[in-house]
Structure 1
């Protein structure tokens, strides 16, 4: 089953972003194995998806999350994670590290709890708006991500841009346009219908084709996925 079947966050204005994210989660499915730990799990939307491949799933998050947390273990990811050394075969962390004020500590702790031979899969935004304020601290270039992972001990670090300039630009435009959906219920419905027909839908269908004109996705990607290993 595909990851899209396990979350319901998609809307008319941003379904392309989730579709792209899901494609990368599927790409990395050979690495989901053994005891999988989801750091910054929030509502744990992909729990059942990961359990198709891993033997067990453990969600870790802190009490100040803005989501309805379904964490199995409560721990501040800016500090020592309340887990023993080398307990995880796989670590997943999606759209989390930008919200951490001490990302190096987070990567050091991730490395500590990961077993030798295990993999970490991480996703962070790049060209994206400030969200979940005031807990939004950093944006990372692909070079920063590679440096930080290698600095904390990881090997075989690969960083992949999620999409190119046009996907980034159209998604940001779509998010911005949601601010105009206001007023009485009937007016909101009418504005939203116009946006769906004339902006949100055509923009998201066109963006992947226009991205083929962009030869440097890493420069203005909406975000990056990182795959790294502990040897």
Structure 2
């Protein structure tokens, strides 16, 4: 049984990431179940790069997928996350990071020129306290790069608390005195539907991980690739009320 578990873990954390590009985020492969979402995140961080300057903190950074893209344009990069929530992620993380809660950040007021806060607020039980902390440590005229989901399945459970609409985000920005430099959707109906379908298929086969990681694996990779292609095609129809995610570039006033 131990040998079987080790083999199963090896396939889950080594083989599947290698075949799907999960270990190369945000440059994942089309065989990745989250390819459509990561494709938009990659495009957005590249477009946001001119705004990311000076001393930068990446809060809820995980394994810092954006660092490779932005590092050459900033003075300092600091990664912040809670290691106890994603132990498997941090056990293999080579770079140093600050283990801290976003609601109680260990930084002085006006410490940073740029804050990256992507796909984090939905996982915070008090997102408004988190935003207050982000504003506290951000310099005047500093930039907050923010992204949050709208129509998306439950993920990273049980740490999945909120969803944010376009209009709710605009109100939050107004309440916290952030100027919206850019706000755009990360995909439309295609990304929304096929990301959820991919997630459903993954969860269904994950009921039997041995089956998923053996005879089910080729089926998964082929299915994800086909679904992702259909998602790209359907996204040509830009139905703005069916967005899975929003990306914002905000200026601290």
- Give the direction of change, closer, same or farther, for the CA distance of 1:50–1:111 in structure 2 (3 Å limit): same
- Give the direction of change, closer, same or farther, for the CA distance of 1:47–1:56 in structure 2 (3 Å limit): same
Shift of 1:229: 0.2
Q: Which residue of 2 aligns with 1:81?
A: 105
Q: Which residue of 1 aligns with 2:49?
A: 29
Cα pair 2:37 2:187 within 8 Å, conserved: no
The structure with the greater share of residues assigned to helix is 2
Q: TM-score, normalised by structure 1?
A: 0.86
Q: Which residue of 2 aligns with 1:102?
A: 126
1:19 & 1:228 partners in 2: Cα distance?
21
Partner secondary structure for residue 72 of structure 2: coil
1:156 & 1:184 partners in 2: Cα distance?
44
Equivalence map 1:44-63=2 (5 Å): 44-63=64-83
1:130 & 1:148 partners in 2: Cα distance?
22
Unpaired runs of 5+ residues, structure 1, are: none
Q: Which residue of 2 aligns with 1:205?
A: 229
Cα pair 2:27 2:39 within 8 Å, conserved: no
- Give the direction of change, closer, same or farther, for the CA distance of 1:116–1:169 in structure 2 (3 Å limit): same
Shift of 1:189: 3.5
- Give the direction of change, closer, same or farther, for the CA distance of 1:105–1:32 in structure 2 (3 Å limit): same
Q: TM-score, normalised by structure 2?
A: 0.79
Shift of 1:123: 1.2
Cα pair 1:145 1:159 within 8 Å, conserved: no
Equivalence map 1:119-138=2 (5 Å): 119-138=143-162
